[in-house]
Amino acid sequence: MRALLALSLVAVPLLASAHHSIQAQFDIYKTIQVTGTVARMEFINPHSYLTVNVKEADGKVTKWAFEMTGLAGLRRAGLSRADRGGLKAGDALTVIALAARDGSNSGLAQELKMGDGRVFKLLADAPDAPPATSR
Partner 1 sequence: MPVSRRVIATAAALCFATAAAFAQNPAPRASLRTTNAPPKPTGTTPRTADGHPDLTGVWNGLGDNLNGVPNQIANNGIAIESETLARDLHSGQIVTVFPRLNNRALNNEQAERAAALLRRSGSNRPIYKPEYWDMVKYNDHNANEEDPSNNCMPAGIPRGAIPSYIAQCPSHVMFVYPGQGGLIATQTMYRMIPTDGRKHTPLQELDGTYTGESIAHWEGDTLVVDSLGFNANTWFDQIGGYMHGENMHVVERFKRDGNTLTWTVTVEDPDYLLEPWTSTPRVALLNPNPSAMLPESQPCSERDLAHIVTKEHH
Q: Could you list the residues that contact partner 1 (CB under 8 A)?
A: 3-25, 28-29, 42-49, 65, 67, 70-72, 75, 100-102, 104, 106, 123, 126-129
* Structural element, H or E, at residue 75: helix 71-76
CB of 33 vs partner 1, minimal distance in Å = 17
Name which of 114 and 126 has its Cβ closer to partner 1: 126
Name which of 28 and 82 has its Cβ closer to partner 1: 28
- Give the whole-angstrom CA distance, residue 10 versus residue 13: 6
CB of 59 vs partner 1, minimal distance in Å = 27
CB of 93 vs partner 1, minimal distance in Å = 20
* Structural element, H or E, at residue 41: strand 26-42
Name which of 92 and 101 has its Cβ closer to partner 1: 101
Name which of 71 and 114 has its Cβ closer to partner 1: 71
- Give the whole-angstrom CA distance, residue 63 versus residue 34: 11
Query: What's the residue count for the chain?
Result: 135
CB of 66 vs partner 1, minimal distance in Å = 11
Annotate 59-98 with b (16+ C-beta within 10 A) or e (fewer).
eeeeebbbbbbbbebbbbbbbeeeeeebbeeebebebbbb
